[in-house]
Chain A
Amino acid sequence: MTRVLVPSGVLGLGFDGPALMRGAQMKPDIIAIDGGSTDSGPFYLGTGTSKYSRAASKSEWRQILQARALAGVPLVIGSCGTCGTDSAVDWMYKITTELAAELGQTLKIARLYSSQDTAKMQAALAKDRIAPLMPNLPIDHDLLSDCSHIVALAGAEQINAALATGADIVLAGRTTDTASIAALPLARGDHAGAVWHGAKVAECGALCSTNPTSGVILVDFDATGFEVQPLATGAACTPHSVSAHMLYENSDPFILYEPGGHLDVRNARYKALDSACVRGDGAKWVVAPRYTVKLEGARMVGYQTTILALLRDAHYVRNAQAWADKLHAFLTARITERMALGPQDYTLEFRLIGANATLGSLENRQAQPVEIGVLGIITARDAAMADEIGRMINPFVLHYPLTEDEELPTFGFPYSPAQSDRGALYEFCLNHVLELDSPMDAFRLVVDEVGP
């Protein structure tokens, strides 16, 4: 049997501190937490940086290090610093070394690196060792060169390699959401289907319970199943809250792909053991014929400048789309004339907040709003061009009239300068798996000891 304490769905989002300390005293075998996701968008992988503030991450990590010292067991964090690049692992390492000194703890730390070398990825592609997932995105030698960062998602095998070093703390680069929870129970021989199933249930912390923001949960894995309970006072896991979590952020509610195989929960059963604890069993782990890890990559695709204007005059609110279309046509000609730029250099888009900014062409409702926010988005080849276009369009976004024969209107600008330079725009551009002969082939381990 293996007991895993999960402080929260992600480091940086907060958790119930007393519940975590209670959990540390309930003899867990390991503490595991996730540090990242693609869910906040491509910027973090594109830049190799964390979404969460350093102060919030350090404050929470301090509490978790204290809980770990109390429990005297290993601590694993997967997908360090949101994106799990090597730079994000090192960011987390620096925070950990500061805390080790501040808390007077001597710690053996294993860093598991997930970033991929461009040339090695190009060689793998040439040898047909990179295969597409659905939807099938185009891939070639140059696309791999364009990626500012490529990471491979570590699974249980790589986390176990890091744990096998005897580390107190494993700081892992990009990892599947479930692997840092699943690793130790698998190594100890608990039921593989139940392990992956329980790990999926627990990967978002207390999201599988009736009090999602409380964070802390405890999962026991054994020879046939898993048992999960939240540790915050008043929170409960129910068969419904646990089984419903299989749907969360998962395109298939019954099948979950992991490095080396997939989880199948079609025959899973859930039973309430008491008012707060649920037992699950019946899930199956199916080993894949080839060992593959998923790849993620982000590339820079331009630089953005935005401008926001407010239409409150009822006549302009009523005719906002026609106004925006007319303004767009006018500005396109103006930018060509004054800057000699065309569609290969930049795009300009106006989104009407209050009309259809959220759903765009999918929107099927119409209503008369009180006001409209006009969000102008310029995406250009370089930052100076985006900034310059922003300056060029500024007076027209402020004053452009709907008709020729009216007095010059002036719309609302909420701040000065009206334009905001957003910097580089990144996009996710890999949806592929990489085949490996041995799980550690695409990953690296660095182990050292830090302390006061």
Chain B
Amino acid sequence: MRLADKVVKVRSKNAGPFWVTIDVFCGAPDVLAAVSAQLPAERVAALYQQPVETLKRFEIPDIFALKFSLPRPVVQGSRDDRDMHGAQYAVLLAELELDD
């Protein structure tokens, strides 16, 4: 089952020109626990082809959310950038297959 089918929302956005941040709103504590266990920093870093050392991972239990922030693979608006606002990065995580 894809992450998107398990949770309420997966979104991403620039956090300034040099970072992109991805939020996963799980909607309930049991969903957060299940999803969190399957999304270690290593797996998310590999998905975005970035070193795990610079990936920040947060759990925000009060709102049943997970958050990942990473230096943008390409700087916002530079010649090689394809997604000015960074909002499409979320799709990769949303489509990631997780165990049921």
Chain A positions near chain B (C-beta within 8 angstroms) = 38-43, 134-135, 137, 240, 243-244, 247-254, 270, 296, 301-302, 347, 351, 357-362, 364-365, 379, 425-428, 431
Residue pair B21, A249 in contact (C-beta under 8 Å): yes
Which 9 residue pairs spanning A and B have beta carbons closest together? A41-B77, A251-B69, A251-B15, A428-B17, A42-B77, A135-B71, A251-B19, A427-B78, A247-B23
10 chain-A/chain-B pairs, Cβ below 8 angstroms: A42-B78, A43-B77, A240-B63, A249-B14, A251-B69, A296-B17, A359-B88, A362-B48, A379-B79, A427-B75
Q: How far is the CA of A63 from the CA of B54 in the complex (A)?
A: 45
Q: How far is the CA of A288 from the CA of B43 in the complex (A)?
A: 35
Centre residue among A41, A347, A351 by max chain B CB count within 10 A: A41
Residue of B nearest to A40 (CB): B84
- Chain B residues near A359 (CB-CB < 8 A): 82-83, 88-89, 91-92
Q: Encode B64-96 as 1/0 by CB contact (under 8 A) with A.
A: 010101010101111110111100110110010
Q: How far is the CA of A431 from the CA of B77 in the complex (A)?
A: 14
- Chain A residues near B16 (CB-CB < 8 A): 38, 249, 251, 431
Q: How far is the CA of A408 from the CA of B92 in the complex (A)?
A: 38
Residue pair A347, B79 in contact (C-beta under 8 Å): yes
- Chain A residues near B19 (CB-CB < 8 A): 251
Per a CB cutoff under 8 Å, which of A43, A135, A360, A361 touches B18?
A: A135
Chain B positions near chain A (C-beta within 8 angstroms) = 13-19, 21, 23, 25, 47-49, 54, 56, 58, 60, 62-63, 65, 67, 69, 71, 73, 75-80, 82-85, 88-89, 91-92, 95
Q: What's the nearest-Cβ distance from chain B to residue A123, in Å? A: 25
> How many interface contacts (CB-CB < 8 Å) are there between A and B?
101
- Chain B residues near A347 (CB-CB < 8 A): 79
- Chain A residues near B95 (CB-CB < 8 A): 365
Residue pair A247, B67 in contact (C-beta under 8 Å): yes
Residue pair B15, A249 in contact (C-beta under 8 Å): yes
- Chain B residues near A362 (CB-CB < 8 A): 47-49, 73, 92
Q: How far is the CA of A39 from the CA of B81 in the complex (A)?
A: 13
Q: How far is the CA of A327 from the CA of B25 in the complex (A)?
A: 44
Q: How far is the CA of A5 from the CA of B35 in the complex (A)?
A: 39
Q: How far is the CA of A6 from the CA of B84 in the complex (A)?
A: 27
Q: How far is the CA of A365 from the CA of B47 in the complex (A)?
A: 12
- Chain A residues near B77 (CB-CB < 8 A): 41-43, 426-428
Per a CB cutoff under 8 Å, which of B14, B82, B85 touches A360?
A: B82
Asked if A41 meets B58 with Cβ closer than 8 Å, knowing A243-B63, A244-B65, the reply is no
- Chain A residues near B91 (CB-CB < 8 A): 358-359
Asked if A134 meets B65 with Cβ closer than 8 Å, knowing A38-B17, A247-B60, A362-B49, the reply is no
Asked if A244 meets B82 with Cβ closer than 8 Å, knowing A361-B49, A362-B49, A427-B77, the reply is no
Q: What's the nearest-Cβ distance from chain B to residue A381, in Å? A: 13
- Chain B residues near A252 (CB-CB < 8 A): 56, 58, 69
**Known A243-B62, A251-B16; further 16 A-B contacts with Cβ < 8 A:** A38-B14, A42-B17, A248-B23, A249-B14, A249-B21, A252-B69, A253-B58, A253-B60, A253-B65, A351-B82, A358-B88, A358-B91, A361-B49, A427-B75, A427-B77, A427-B79
- Chain B residues near A42 (CB-CB < 8 A): 17, 76-78
Q: How far is the CA of A49 from the CA of B80 in the complex (A)?
A: 23
Q: How far is the CA of A134 from the CA of B15 in the complex (A)?
A: 12
Q: What's the nearest-Cβ distance from chain B to residue A158, in Å? A: 20
- Chain A residues near B85 (CB-CB < 8 A): 39-40
Q: How far is the CA of A379 from the CA of B80 in the complex (A)?
A: 10
- Chain A residues near B83 (CB-CB < 8 A): 358-359
Q: How far is the CA of A248 from the CA of B25 in the complex (A)?
A: 12
Q: How far is the CA of A243 from the CA of B25 in the complex (A)?
A: 12
- Chain A residues near B56 (CB-CB < 8 A): 251-252
Asked if A301 meets B88 with Cβ closer than 8 Å, knowing A249-B13, A252-B58, the reply is no
Residue of B nearest to A38 (CB): B17
- Chain B residues near A243 (CB-CB < 8 A): 60, 62-63
Q: How far is the CA of A248 from the CA of B65 in the complex (A)?
A: 12
